[in-house]
Amino acid sequence: MNLVEVKSLSKRFGNEQAVDGISFELAEGSATALIGPNGAGKTTTLSMLAGLLEATDGEIQRKKNLTIGFLPQYPRFFPWLSALEFTEMAAKLSGVDAKKARQQSERTLGFVGLHQVAHKKIGGFSGGMKQRLGLAQAIVHQPSVLLLDEPISSLDPTGRREVMELLKSLLGQTTVLYSTHILNDAEEMTDQLLFLKNGRLVEQGSLSQVRRRYEDPHIRVRFENTDAAEWFVREAPWPTSVKGTAAVIPVKAEGPAIQDVFRFLSVKSLPVIGVEHETASLEDIFLKVVAGK
């Protein structure tokens, strides 16, 4: 069942068309990654879904009684409040009963790993702690849809991993739409990919659907030096190109299979370091989508 249906949604700021007729759905319990270069319209889209910006055109249909949690790209905190006071305030603003707000806030701070600093002032928090607190205020009222604007981009690799694990553990209970620049992480938590460019959705689908469209499978033979790679490219019976000290062979329906490459290498004495079968990563796909449309 779809919790949200976005139809031909647009937003213009003066002459700037920030979002240009995009349509997509958020199925219950799914995770959707909104990907795009700077200025693509990700924040504008999330802000419209969160109800903070009015659309110029199109519509957003939300399931009845839908509750939304939102983590902005640059959340504002009140440094003089403690983490617990802040989360409790957010819970009450989201309509949680005053009696339950304290209990839910304590539980949520425990979930995001801030229980030990629940009574500490936010003013002394690190960036990573603030990001967890931002997540806490977005989920404290147990929303059915969670909108996250770059939830991990400002974190170091350890912080990113921890927050990703938290987000993954929310899946199933919550429907998540998040924007990100960290494509490896998007690969991990995605039922649906939305590629935005200049306000338009230039690609969308599941990770496997998008992969199939762009997969570009190839075999990479890595050598110790460029001379060996160049020799291989001249002598190999397949169309091959040199990339640095490697030879790259596109794999078409008729091959070659990786065994064919091993067989060819076994009769030559070339300084080979490795042979790998590769397909396009989400990063490669992103670069193609962004450059191509």
Ligand X SMILES: Nc1ncnc2c1ncn2[C@@H]1O[C@H](COP(=O)(O)OP(=O)(O)OP(=O)(O)O)[C@@H](O)[C@H]1O
What is the closest distance, in whole angstroms, from the C-beta atom of residue 241 to ligand X in the complex? 33
Minimal distance, residue 15 CB to ligand X, in Å: 9
CA dist 106 and 91 (Å) reads: 11
Shortest distance (Å) from residue 42 CB to ligand X: 3
Which is it for the CA torsion 74, 78, 79, 84, positive or negative? negative
For the segment 56-75, give every residue that binds ligand X (CB under 6 A).
Answer: 73
**Out of 32, 43, 108, 192, the residue judged to bind ligand X by CB under 6 A:** 43
The residues near 16 (Cβ < 8 Å, ≥ 6 apart) are none
Question: Mask of contacts with ligand X, 69-108, x by CB under 6 A?
Answer: ----x-----------------------------------
Cβ contacts of 28 within 8 Å, gap of 6 or more: 1, 2, 3, 144, 175
Using CB under 6 A as the binding rule, whether residue 197 contacts ligand X is answered as no
Please name which of 41, 30, 16 lies closest in space to residue 190, comparing C-alpha atoms. Answer: 30
- Residue in 3, 4, 6, 40 binding ligand X, rule: CB under 6 A: 40
Interface with ligand X includes 42 (CB under 6 A)? yes
Q: Provide CB contacts within 8 A for 263, sequence distance 6+.
A: none
3-class state of residue 279 by DSSP? coil
Single out the residue of 13, 103, 126, 127 in contact with ligand X (rule: CB under 6 A): 13
The DSSP 8-state label assigned to residue 13 in this structure reads E
- Binding residue for ligand X (CB under 6 A) from 10, 32, 44, 87? 44
Provide the β-strand partners of residue 24: 6
* Number of neighbouring beta carbons within 10 Å of residue 205: 14
Query: Where do the H-state alpha helices sit in 140-255?
Result: 157-170, 183-188, 207-214, 226-235
Q: Is 32 in the site for ligand X (CB under 6 A)?
A: no
Residue 49 CB, nearest distance to ligand X (Å)? 12
* Residue with smaller CB distance to ligand X, 41 or 69: 41
**Residue 141 lies near ligand X (rule: CB under 6 A):** no
Question: Which is nearer to ligand X, 125 or 195 (by Cβ)?
Answer: 195
How near is the Cβ of 60 to ligand X at its closest, in Å? Answer: 16
Name the residues that contact ligand X, by CB under 6 A: 13, 16, 18, 36, 38-44, 73
